[in-house]
A and B are shown apart, each in its own frame.
Chain A
Amino acid sequence: MFLFSASQFSNLFSVLFSHYRRHPLQLLALALMIMLATMLWTGVNHLTTQARASLGQSEQAAAARSQLERVDGQALTVADFVTLRRAGLCVTPWLEVERPGQGGRLVGVDPLAAGCFAQTAPAAGNNSPERIDSPESSKKPEPAWTPVLNGDPFIDISEAAELAQNVAPSNVSLSLLIVPPEPASALPADYRMTGFSLGPDTGELGDSFLLNLDALGFLVLLITALLLRSVYQLGMAQRRDSFALLQRFGVMPSAINRVLLVEILLLALLSVVPGVWLGRLLAGTVSGGFGQALDSLFDTPLYAGQSENWLTSIATMMAIVLVVCLAQNVQALLLRTAAVLSFALPAKLLTGFGVRPWPWLALPLAAIGLAVALLAQSLPLVFFAVALVFAATGIAAPFAIAALSATLARKTREPLACWRHTELGVMARRLALPLVALQFALAMVLAVQALVTVFEVTFDEWLGQRLAADYFIEVPAGASANAAAQWLAAQPELAQSGDWHQVVRGVAQLPAAANDPAMADPKMDNPKMADSKMAGSKTDRKAQSVDLFALGPVSPLLTMWSLQAAGDQPWQGFAAGEGVMVNEQLARRYPLAVGDTLVLTLANTRLERPVLAIYADYGRPAGEVLINLELLPDEFVPVFESFSISPGASDITMITDGLQRLWQVESVRVRDNKRIRELADAVFDQTFLLTRAMTFVTLVLAAVALLIMGWVFFSTRAWYFRLLQVWGLTKRQVLAQLGWLALTLTLSITLLALPLGVWLTWVLVHRINPLAFGWSLPMAIYPGFWLQLGVVSVLIGLSITLLMRSQLGGSSPKPVSAASLRGDER
């Protein structure tokens, strides 16, 4: 069967291809669709890769590294560097100087000293994007850090030192970065390590965003496959008559299939290459602004450029084309087997084109999918559930529209309306695949839009909470934070117009849960914390240490925090030392709800307090407990102490000068929160913009797909619209019928996309994110955006109508295929 000669093959090929010689527009539509689908996937994939790389690089540039400080609080000098190098430690100087003229920062580094920053140290400002892009290379050990000294932003330390002499001392800072030594005791006693970073750690919020980008990429792949399959099926349908004829001439169906496979692969190859090119062009255009924003933020070309292989894109698309075509054969095989097994199967089922033979399958699929999505405790299961629900909707949506139109047709007394409704049913079935693709695209756009908005709002709120104070001052080692607190409290101007609070960070112990007196009063029926019930039963609780934050006094900087769950007047209780607060991560994992009593061990002192509130913290995965500073026992050893200060009418330099005098140090470390916030906001704004652009591109291409398919479909039915004209409808009236059909179709698929989109949002926010990261995002619904989608679908419908208008005019077109001549295009 597999053997047939080359001449036979080429004969058959030319016979089959002659269809397209007669209908060049169909061939064009097919090629265009493959090209557009390729462009869509390549573009989105490219953008996702770039967003990931860019986010990764910006995080790396701002990544927390370790630096050294003198225990006596004195500024570091060259002598310190020499001492540490002699001790065999990997240290490198990092001299930040204001860039003369343009603003921004230059960083002076010593490339030789940086050489030891291999493997363990995150390489800041590494300018080779491939390193981050490709997953396999990121597993390799990090290459030695060799910064490019081209002023973007790195320059040689000697140049930086020269520049530093002409700049105000406040605009110069010298740090010593260090690879943490093993063991830690290798560090000379005069020094201690502290964190070093250029910006805030976006932490898991960034990771979560990337996870969602991946989900998006997967959906786009699905939509692409659907579009390709619809094109393929359309081609098949249009040539049914030729196939039937060939079979009557004795050509085996398998031979026809093989020729078709070669044909579609050739066509795919010809269309995929320009598609990949266009996709990359598109991605490049959209992401230009993104790259620029990152560059200006970090004074360095951080944006990962075009790096992904052309061949990968082309091979992926060809693979998808193949799968799409083979799916046809697999389906045929299944149906043939089914036919052999049961002769009772109606013939319609076997030729079932467009019409899914198993619409009833959608119900159990959807039921299982919804249940699993609700109950699953692992990410793969939730993803599986999402796939099930999408499959169910894909099967059911065209069928639902067809069934509804059939019911309406039966109900109506007006024959023309009856015709409209039946015609709508035919369209829903015949255009099933592009319709489903559009539905998925709409649902995806809806979910991503809601998600991105939620991310934006959440991120904004969280940053606002974290960076509520204008400045952040570290307490140097050995200095008395309490003395500073007293001094701050005694400043009249600060008390009048400013706000401040002291932060002591350390570690507390939580007991295991078995016969736990701490859990005497569990209020697990709190609806807001319903999820925590699922996070594990109480007996799962293990003794654990958590991060402890002792804060005081309670200022407006704290009371502006948005709380996820809280009792009555939580901050008043907190100020009075009546209770504690915990972060969402701890509440979910331990688990805890508002009103539960928490037992804490702080330096051998047992503290028993109710949970007053649960707050959101997206930056860190660890559990946290917040207590009033006054509850801290004297013997507690802090890990880190600081002050958050909004000076109000008073001057921050007045405060820092006062603290320097008090602590008797040459300088104190002050962090300007406003600048950090601007930085972070800008990075995230661009990332969100990029994501929105991607989903918009998806929507536009899905719409174009429906447009093309609708056009091809209508061209096979143009005769029947002409028939209406013969029966006495004016051209305008016929056009109105056409418009009604196109608009009803696109609007109803949009309506069907809404619940899917909302559900997808819910899954992303309430199921996937908590399972992946242990915290949830607030769920939000934006009906305004639904309206926008409605407008988009109206535009799609109108465009189809306008495209069809040209086919209605002129001389009477004859039905295009033998099938339509016989009138069996039902």
Chain B
Amino acid sequence: MGQGTSVTEPLLKVRGLGKHFASAGQTVNVLSGLELTLAPGESLALMGRSGSGKSTLLNILCGLEQPDAGFVSIAGEHFAADSSASGPNQQRWAMLRRQRIGVVFQEANLMPALSLLDNVRLRARLAGQSDQHCGDWLKRLGIGELTQRYPDQVSGGQRQRAALAMVFAMRPSLILADEPTGSLDVRTALEVADELFHQQAASGCALILATHDSALAARCGQRLDLAQMGA
């Protein structure tokens, strides 16, 4: 994949990234001096206790939150900390999220009023893909017979499978998954994770997976422990 970038150039480059929150009169440094490089097709596990800043980093990497310091370069687009809040940057981030970056949360990845198939179609069309193969993606993720069901009519594991189908149907360069199996039971979590790694390898996109499960993290090519960094 990785259109517009050569194979040797990294897909994602983060330098000197810092982020702090001000809460109750105190400033909390969540991220500071973070460095990160990721080539197309690679996978990275983001580790750390709850509250260590995993979600914050993922939010920054898709432009939903702005860092205080450092810069992010992603799929050929460069964002410096001081300029990232301005309008044109927001447009570029939106464009990236639309076509190149797929995001999977722990829960609530689907529009409740749309069927599973319509959810996948909506996501694919927003990414500029045709919606012809959306049914296939659901089939590939093992829920081909549930395409006409609504999110509230399927189990939590099936919802996360549908969320993965949505992300893969947009043919992204990078997937940001924030504890995608966090709310599932052990067996279902394992099945969903299997699907995630399988399809990621097949499609050749990069993956950043936030998790506190070391077994899951062990399946990724690289690991980054935020808890150690913050300390």
Contacts and interface: CB of A to CB of B under 8 A. Distances in A.
A478 interface: no
Contacts of B148: none
A: interface residue count bin: 20 to 34
Interface stretch (A60-68, A421-429, A669-677): A421-429
Given A821-B108, A823-B112, A418 B118 contact: yes
B152 A418 contact: no
A350 B112 CA distance: 20
A415 B62 contact: no
Interface string B107-124: 111111110001001111
A422 B152 contact: no
A726 B62 contact: yes
B108 A726 contact: no
A107 to B, nearest CB: 72
Contacts of B118: 415, 418-419
B98 A727 contact: yes
A1 B103 CA distance: 51
A419 B113 contact: yes
A423 B122 CA distance: 14
Nearest to B115: A422
B102 to A, nearest CB: 9
Nearest to B109: A723
Interface in A767-826: 811-812, 814-815, 820-826
A620 to B, nearest CB: 62
A12 B151 CA distance: 33
Contacts of A418: 114, 118, 122
A696 interface: no
B99 interface: yes
B150 A826 contact: yes
Contacts of B150: 826
A474 B95 CA distance: 89
B112 A824 contact: yes
Nearest to B105: A726
Interface of B is mostly: helix
Contacts of A823: 107-108, 110, 112, 151-152, 159
B126 A419 contact: no
Given A418-B122, A826-B152, A730 B91 contact: yes
Interface in B119-161: 121-127, 131, 150-152, 156, 159
Contact of B98 (A414, A728, A812, A825): A728
A507 B96 CA distance: 92
Contacts of A423: 111, 113
Given A419-B122, A812-B59, A728 B95 contact: yes
Contacts of B127: 728
B143 to A, nearest CB: 14
A419 B108 contact: no
B110 A812 contact: no
B7 interface: no
Nearest to B134: A415
Contact of B108 (A414, A727, A820): A820
B64 interface: yes
Contact of A726 (B91, B97, B110, B112): B97
A811 to B, nearest CB: 7
A720 B109 CA distance: 9
A719 B156 CA distance: 18
A727 B112 contact: no
A523 B108 CA distance: 73
Contacts of A731: 90
A822 B111 contact: no
Given A418-B118, A425-B113, A822-B156, A727 B64 contact: no
A725 interface: yes
A729 interface: yes
A415 B126 contact: yes
Contact of B152 (A726, A814, A822): A822
- Which of B109, B111, B122 is most buried by chain A, counting CB atoms within 10 A of its CB? B111
A416 B114 CA distance: 10
A730 B110 CA distance: 18
B149 to A, nearest CB: 11
Given A418-B118, A726-B103, A727-B98, A825 B112 contact: yes
B122 A416 contact: yes
Contacts of B125: 414-416
B65 interface: yes
B206 to A, nearest CB: 18
- Which of A727, A729, A733 is most buried by chain B, counting CB atoms within 10 A of its CB? A727
Contacts of B94: 725, 728-730, 733
A826 B112 contact: yes
Nearest to A416: B122
B113 A824 contact: no
Given A822-B152, A826-B150, A720 B112 contact: yes
A419 B98 contact: no
A682 B124 CA distance: 67
A815 B108 contact: yes
Given A720-B112, A822-B152, A727 B97 contact: yes
A719 B95 CA distance: 20
Contacts of B90: 730-731
Contacts of B112: 426, 720, 820, 823-826
Contacts of B103: 726
Nearest to B176: A726
A422 B113 contact: yes
Nearest to A733: B94
A422 B111 CA distance: 10
Contacts of B123: 727
Interface string B46-75: 000000000000010010110000000000
Contacts of A826: 112-113, 150-152
Contacts of A416: 122, 125-126
A423 B111 CA distance: 9
Interface in A80-106: none
Nearest to A815: B108
A723 B98 contact: no
B99 A726 contact: no
Interface string A709-729: 000000000011001011111
B190 to A, nearest CB: 21
A726 B93 CA distance: 10
B65 A811 contact: yes
Contacts of B114: 418-419, 422
Nearest to B65: A811
Contacts of A812: 59, 64
Nearest to A810: B65
B64 A725 contact: yes
A726 B101 CA distance: 9
Nearest to A720: B111
Nearest to A814: B108
Nearest to B56: A811
Nearest to B100: A728
Contacts of B111: 419, 422-423, 720, 723
A419 B112 CA distance: 10
Contacts of A414: 125
A718 to B, nearest CB: 11
B210 to A, nearest CB: 14
- Which of A726, A729, A730, A823 is most buried by chain B, counting CB atoms within 10 A of its CB? A823
A463 B95 CA distance: 70
Nearest to A811: B65
Contacts of A422: 111, 113-114
A142 to B, nearest CB: 66
A824 B108 contact: no
14 contacts: A415-B121, A416-B126, A419-B114, A422-B111, A422-B113, A423-B113, A723-B109, A726-B62, A727-B98, A728-B126, A731-B90, A821-B107, A822-B152, A826-B112
Given A418-B122, A812-B64, 9 more contacts: A415-B126, A422-B113, A422-B114, A426-B113, A720-B112, A727-B97, A729-B94, A821-B107, A826-B150
Please name the 10 residue pairs, one residue from A and one from B, whose CB atoms are nearest each other, closest first.
A728-B98, A824-B152, A415-B122, A823-B151, A422-B113, A728-B97, A730-B94, A415-B125, A826-B112, A415-B121
